[in-house]
Structure 1
């Protein structure tokens, strides 16, 4: 049985030997964030980042879902080449390399926002979509392949 985020976090906090949660500090932070939100200190600037969508439509939600599903583990070992992707003349690394690879594929007409399409992607197609400039394969490509095809099957079934 899978645990939800809250239950998972609670279980991890209880099991952790080297990490502890300070409930009072969490309360202070929550209070400060709520006050900052009320005072208008949080702005919706998602679309101000170059590789993020500039529209506010269904495709934007699908884009965010797709990127969020695959946004994990871009670390490399010291001395190892970074995973880099160039899109529209700009070179990106980390999370933004994922965004750039998605945008590059969309610019090439690959229908990556369609669950019926991405639920059937092969591992080779995923490798091609995430081809890097540095010659390095995107970290955890097999896991990313599994996650996105499973997400497509779940989305497509609704």
Structure 2
């Protein structure tokens, strides 16, 4: 089984899927996925778009189109600036490298203040079929990924 564009890990962080390592930063990853799901109104597990949910949000973030992430159902009940800040914090939480993720206390401070936020790196389980733009030529599409995992299940005879 390979994690591709339509089959993500859900809330599990890359270091747990790959190495079985778990820490408080694993919870931060899960929280980041959760807040991105809430703001977007989409689920990470089973997100079938050109990308997975994390890559989709990342792509729109880097293109300066974060407002397109916000679910239409909540646009009248939240301030856009708060939703955009939440997306930014969510991307900081889902960093591939656990050391790059903030602590939960930092997440609370970032969400409740207006301080400048650091720029996030590529999220964990990042896959995208087109980082260069929306070209229709299949030769211009490239696969970018931080993770590729094959899972084999062994059973006794």
In terms of fraction of residues, the more helix-rich structure is 1
Normalised by the size of structure 1, how large is the TM-score?
0.30
| Structure with greater contact order relative to length (CA < 8 Å, sep ≥ 6) | 2
